[in-house]
Amino acid sequence: MTFLRNLCQRTLATNLRAYSVKAIIKKPPKILITGGLGQLGVECAKYLRRKYGQENVILSDIIQPSAEVVNDGPYIFADILDFKGLQKIVVDHRVDWLIHFSALLSAIGEQNVPLAVRVNIEGMHNVIELAKQYKLRIFVPSTIGAFGPDSPRNPTPNITVQRPRTIYGVSKVHAELLGEYYYHKFGLDFRCLRFPGVISSDPPGGGTTDYAIAIFHDILRKGHYQCYLKPDTRLPMMHVKDALQALSNFLEAPNELLNRRVYNVTSMSFTPEELAEKIIKYVPEFNITYQPDSRQDIADSWPQVFDDSEARRDWNWQPSVDLDNLVELMIKEVKEKIAANDC
Ligand code: SER
């Protein structure tokens, strides 16, 4: 009798242990990233693969990938304008989360408005419907470009007037509203962060804030930079490390913490002149000239300082890279990139 009771207790304890281990080790999400060869995709895939496993993060685009990209993990063809093709990918790979990066940025969008409408707006229609059908969690980045000259610029709060004057901005306001609508109407787990200019060592990708990337490449290669914005143009910015940290924390935040589906995030604000002053410490002999072009009008309609207090309050957003760290990181990373390309 005692033997039987002990056996039962042992079996129960083992079962309970097995159960609690199962409860702790949650299956990692299977993540599909669209627009994977744009400004954020490759770094984002690396970051999330470290977190969720190499095979669980699928990078996709319509562009031929480099050997380096293919060696890093799964890469597939996905055209966001082909709804059936997207359905097949979600089914074949059993996708749980969709990170939708495909978009034409502000300056490049102005050069080809019909293409920006197709990629940024029609593409968004496809992925949001896809996410609804397959009950995916969907992340779509928005931007400081979703504001316009009628918005308060210093600081720009989470909720305020949004009347952007670029097709990029218009498409992002459309994405924000559509996502919120699908959340309220269908319970879709839509999540969106409004990023400031994101700075990484990858070459510039057609954005207005990209002077803050181009300046490092030109100064380290040629010793001078011609800036297309005026020296005192203040814009909100963040290093890609902070952007990925924000994205990842926000994607994991429990729904109960979120008072909104769309949040402002930022790390700092600076002008070309202030950035150049910091770079001089590393490259004393460089020269910068200013020749503003049409991108100046875009920058003049955007926030100067971004208020991200709601993200800090609701899901504990905290940037870690300030202007000094950013310059130090970029000098190192761009030098490495240049050395690798020259090999
Ligand atoms: N980096 C973007 C742009 O300048 C802003 O989100 O277009």
Q: Report in angstroms the alpha-carbon separations of 58 from 17, 28, 86, 122.
A: 33, 13, 13, 22
Residues in Cβ contact with 270 at an 8 Å cutoff, skipping those fewer than 6 apart: 212, 234, 235, 237, 323
What value does the mean pLDDT take over residues 84-113?
A: 98
Burial label for 247, CB within 10 Å (0-12, 13-18, 19+), is buried
Decide if 90 is inside a domain.
no
Decide if 66 is inside a domain.
no
Decide if 67 is inside a domain.
no
Q: How far is the CA of 103 from the centre of ligand 1 (A)?
A: 11
What value does the mean pLDDT take over residues 27-40?
A: 96
Decide if 321 is inside a domain.
yes
Write down the mean pLDDT value for the chain: 94
Instruction: Indicate if 52 belongs to the active site.
Output: no
Q: How far is the CA of 143 from the centre of ligand 1 (A)?
A: 7
Residue 8 pLDDT:
43
Burial label for 140, CB within 10 Å (0-12, 13-18, 19+), is buried
Tokens of 59: 């990078």
Q: Which of 61, 308, 109 is nearest to 210 (CA)?
A: 109
Which residue's CA is the closest to the ligand 1 atom numbered 5? 197
**Measured between alpha carbons, how far is 27 from 218 in angstroms, rounded to an integer?**
45
Q: 3-state DSSP call for residue 206?
A: coil
**Measured between alpha carbons, how far is 86 from 229 in angstroms, rounded to an integer?**
39
**Per-residue pLDDT band at 24 (split at 50, 70, 90):** low
Shortest-distance atom of ligand 1 to CA 168: 7
Decide if 24 is inside a domain.
no
Catalytic position from the list 168, 182, 183, 211 = 168
**Measured between alpha carbons, how far is 30 from 96 in angstroms, rounded to an integer?**
5
**Residue 106, ligand 1, Cβ within 6 A:** yes
Q: State pTM to two decimals.
A: 0.92
Decide if 265 is inside a domain.
yes
Decide if 331 is inside a domain.
yes
Q: How many domains does the chain have?
A: 1
Residue 217 pLDDT:
96
**Residue 105, ligand 1, Cβ within 6 A:** yes
Residue 189 contacts residue 255 (beta carbons within 8 Å): yes
Decide if 10 is inside a domain.
no
Residue 156 contacts residue 303 (beta carbons within 8 Å): yes
Q: Is the pLDDT of residue 296 over 90?
A: yes
Burial label for 35, CB within 10 Å (0-12, 13-18, 19+), is buried
**Residue 197, ligand 1, Cβ within 6 A:** yes
**Residue 208, ligand 1, Cβ within 6 A:** yes
CATH of the domain at 303: 3.40.50.720
Q: How far is the CA of 295 from the centre of ligand 1 (A)?
A: 11
Query: In which domain, by residue range, is 127 found?
Result: 103-342
Q: How far is the CA of 202 from the centre of ligand 1 (A)?
A: 14
